[in-house]
Amino acid sequence: MQLNEPDLLKLVNHCKVNLPLSGATLGKEYYYAHMPICVIDSVFSISVRYEGVRNTIQRFCDHYKFIAYRDQAELPTKESQLSVSEIIKLFKGSTPEELASNVYRNRKRTSSKNGILKADAVCRFLKVLKKHSAEYFQDIPNLYNNVDFENAIKLIPGQRSGISLNYFFMLAVSENLIKPDRMVLKFLENVTGHKINFNESQMALASISEVLNTEGILMNPRLLDHIIWNYQRGQF
């Protein structure tokens, strides 16, 4: 369903009263040093506590002696990044089982029924990126609205919903996309009083951000998603 005006007004007011909107900043996961780490985060973060994802990424970086984060909001130069092809080359000769056990030390699967190791899903995601000539952060905008790319990612077991894909874009460069996980959906549902699906949540945060900007509160869907996620985490 489309977000109606009364629901939008309720959401905007609720955000203004309850969320720390002024001066809010993104978490360090939005400033990875290398684009392939965004893939690892987006795949491993589905349906788990995020602290475990941070630990998984740190183990990956420690294993290969990479730095995980950059110091500034601006995208790093291509010369300072590890490319998708370089990561795929590092993985060569290791099975997904070996990567899960020895590199990530995380054997979570994309789903409990017929799911594959998330380590395997990361490898498949990276290969799709390589096939579409996306090696660095700077290449990501070329993938927007690329149906072939999106369909290829969604064919990876556990990626059909598109949540990981959206989150990947969000982590990489897009301020206009969100990761509508259970915390964000719960926030929207608590305020509106009805169920909100994936597409509706994206539209809702875009609409809220637009209204807040007209009121002089600088906001975008990605930042609002992050603020809501942190707020909801504190409610439990």
- Per-residue pLDDT tens over the stretch 153-162: 999 999 999 9
| C-alpha–C-alpha distance, residues 71 and 75, integer Å | 10
Query: In sequence order, what are the residues at sequence separation of 6 or more whose Cβ sits closer than 8 angstroms to the Cβ of residue 142?
Result: 132, 133, 134
* Eight-state DSSP code of residue 215: T
Q: Would you place residue 236 in the very low, low, confident or very high pLDDT band (cuts 50, 70, 90)?
A: low
Whether the model pTM is above 0.85: no
Query: CB-hemisphere CA count at 13 Å for 142?
Result: 11
Phi-psi region of 218 (alpha: psi -120 to 50; beta: other; left: phi over 0): beta
Q: Would you place residue 235 in the very low, low, confident or very high pLDDT band (cuts 50, 70, 90)?
A: confident
Percent residues over pLDDT 90 in the chain:
75
pLDDT score of 108: 96
pLDDT score of 53: 95
* 3-class SS of residue 69: strand
- Per the DSSP assignment, residues forming a β-bridge with 117 are 109
Phi and psi dihedrals of 32, rounded to 5? -70, 150
Computed over every residue of the chain, the mean pLDDT equals 92
When pLDDT is averaged across residues 58-83 and rounded to a whole number, the result is 94
| C-alpha–C-alpha distance, residues 26 and 20, integer Å | 12
- Per the DSSP assignment, residues forming a β-bridge with 69 are 32
Residues 19-34: pLDDT tens digits?
A: 999 888 888 999 999 9
On the question of pLDDT at 119 being above 90, the answer is yes
On the question of pLDDT at 234 being above 90, the answer is no
pLDDT score of 210: 95
CA 200 from centroid of its chain's CA atoms:
17
Q: Would you place residue 117 in the very low, low, confident or very high pLDDT band (cuts 50, 70, 90)?
A: very high
When pLDDT is averaged across residues 22-47 and rounded to a whole number, the result is 93
* Contact by Cβ (8 Å): 187, 193: no
| C-alpha–C-alpha distance, residues 31 and 22, integer Å | 20
Residues 167-183: pLDDT tens digits?
A: 999 899 878 888 877 88
Other CB atoms closer than 10 Å to residue 105's CB: what's the count?
13
Residues 201-228: pLDDT tens digits?
A: 989 999 999 999 999 999 999 999 999 9
Signed CA dihedral, 126, 127, 129, 130: sign only = positive
| C-alpha–C-alpha distance, residues 108 and 47, integer Å | 10
On the question of pLDDT at 191 being above 90, the answer is yes
* Contact by Cβ (8 Å): 187, 231: yes
pLDDT score of 180: 75
